[in-house]
A = this chain, B = another copy of it.
Amino acid sequence: MMKHYYSISDHQNFKALVDQGILMQQQIQSYDIIGKNKTLIMLFFSPSLRTRISTHKAGLVLGMHVISMNAGDGYQMEFDFGKVMDGNSAEHIKEAAKVISQFGDIIAIRAFPGLQSKEEDLKDQILQGFMKFATVPIVNLESCLHHPLQGLADAITIESTKKITKPKVVLSWAPHIKALPLAVPISFAQAMNAMQYDFTITHPEGHELPSNLVGNVKIEYDQAKALKDADFVYAKSWSSTLNYGQPNKTSNNWIINEEKMNLTANGKFMHCLPIRRNVVATDGVLDSPNSLIYKQAHNRLFAAQAVIFKLLQQNQPF
């Protein structure tokens, strides 16, 4: 029983979601009864392209009504309790969550971290607030800490591409002009743990992911050693957790290029997109036949379908 789809580690049976996604890949048009007369409400506090379109389409493919809006079309929200609301915020999250729950059967929300304060971001207060007060399932479209639809799409991509049962998967930190959120690497690590692949993270020191979220994962600070014999290389930048929110300007040599891919076992390249070409990875890597970036993006649709399908299924009257 899945109450919300907030993080990958919430789910005892993540593998079943991956299998459902692979099923969805094969035949996308026969599920439109389950969502009939149900409404998916999508609320964006942050920009979105893949997530916005793929989740909207997933709802429609499953026969749902979909109402999508930017949070900025409504009112600025308050998250604290007991407060005298005489500042900029006109609506408390308690009201927003309870009210939207009355109009939607599933609420999907995107809310990026501010990347100003690690303490603040670790609270993940928009998603946590909605989960606390909503009376219907919440789907996380990427919060401060988790991007579980991306992690699911990534797992679907590897599971439907791999040649061996337990492939070697390497998450490799990447350079970027800005400090970026931890949500994608956390969800990817949780997904790899759940799938029991041979999983290694490689990153410069100071970029350790929160161990309470990613578990006792293998870390290899030497990128070349980590990449050796990898079947899948996932490049992704994320903020230092020591100098939180500060861009890392000293590690541009962490870019993934063809030379580094040659260290792998004819490894596949992955990234969640959007990607800054020739910063995170070179054109040569992105455009090679071993690049899975578009397949991953396509699987965002099937990941969203799988999650919404499971949520609708368990809420069906019998």
Q: Which residue of B lies closest to A100 (CB)?
A: B53
Please tell me if the beta carbons of B67 and A48 are within 8 angstroms of each other in the complex: no
Please tell me if the beta carbons of A85 and B276 are within 8 angstroms of each other in the complex: yes
Binds B, one of A71-79, A142-150, A211-219: A71-79
Taking the closest CB of chain B, its distance from the CB of A273, in whole angstroms, is: 5
A278 within 8 A of B: yes
Please tell me if the beta carbons of B301 and A82 are within 8 angstroms of each other in the complex: no
A37 within 8 A of B: yes
Please tell me if the beta carbons of A57 and B277 are within 8 angstroms of each other in the complex: no
Taking the closest CB of chain B, its distance from the CB of A96, in whole angstroms, is: 7
Taking the closest CB of chain B, its distance from the CB of A235, in whole angstroms, is: 14
Could you tell me the distance between the alpha carbons of A275 and B222 in the complex, rounded to whole angstroms?
A: 54
**A65 partner residues in chain B, CB cutoff 8 A:** 57, 60-61
Please tell me if the beta carbons of B275 and A95 are within 8 angstroms of each other in the complex: yes
Taking the closest CB of chain B, its distance from the CB of A108, in whole angstroms, is: 13
Return the contact of A67 from the options B53, B98, B293 (Cβ within 8 A).
Answer: B53
A207 within 8 A of B: no
Could you tell me the distance between the alpha carbons of A81 and B287 in the complex, rounded to whole angstroms?
A: 12
**A61 partner residues in chain B, CB cutoff 8 A:** 37, 65
**A136 partner residues in chain B, CB cutoff 8 A:** none
Taking the closest CB of chain B, its distance from the CB of A220, in whole angstroms, is: 27
A191 within 8 A of B: no
Interface size, A (range):
35 or more
A47 within 8 A of B: yes
Binds B, one of A86-94, A156-164, A181-189, A259-267: A86-94
Please tell me if the beta carbons of A52 and B69 are within 8 angstroms of each other in the complex: yes
Please tell me if the beta carbons of A48 and B29 are within 8 angstroms of each other in the complex: no
Please tell me if the beta carbons of A78 and B294 are within 8 angstroms of each other in the complex: no
Please tell me if the beta carbons of B44 and A73 are within 8 angstroms of each other in the complex: yes
Please tell me if the beta carbons of B56 and A277 are within 8 angstroms of each other in the complex: no
Please tell me if the beta carbons of A277 and B85 are within 8 angstroms of each other in the complex: yes
Q: Which of A273-299 contact B (CB under 8 A)?
A: 273-279, 283, 293-294, 297-298
User: Could you list some 17 contacts between A and B, CB below 8 A?
Assistant: A39-B60, A48-B73, A48-B74, A49-B96, A52-B69, A53-B103, A83-B278, A84-B277, A84-B278, A84-B279, A89-B276, A92-B275, A95-B273, A95-B275, A95-B293, A96-B274, A103-B301
Q: Which 3 A-B pairs have the closest CB atoms?
A: A91-B274, A49-B74, A85-B276
Chain A residues packing against B (C-beta within 8 Å): 29, 37, 39, 41, 44, 47-50, 52-54, 56-57, 60-61, 65, 67-70, 72-75, 78, 81-86, 89-92, 95-96, 98-100, 102-104, 177, 273-279, 283, 293-294, 297-298, 301
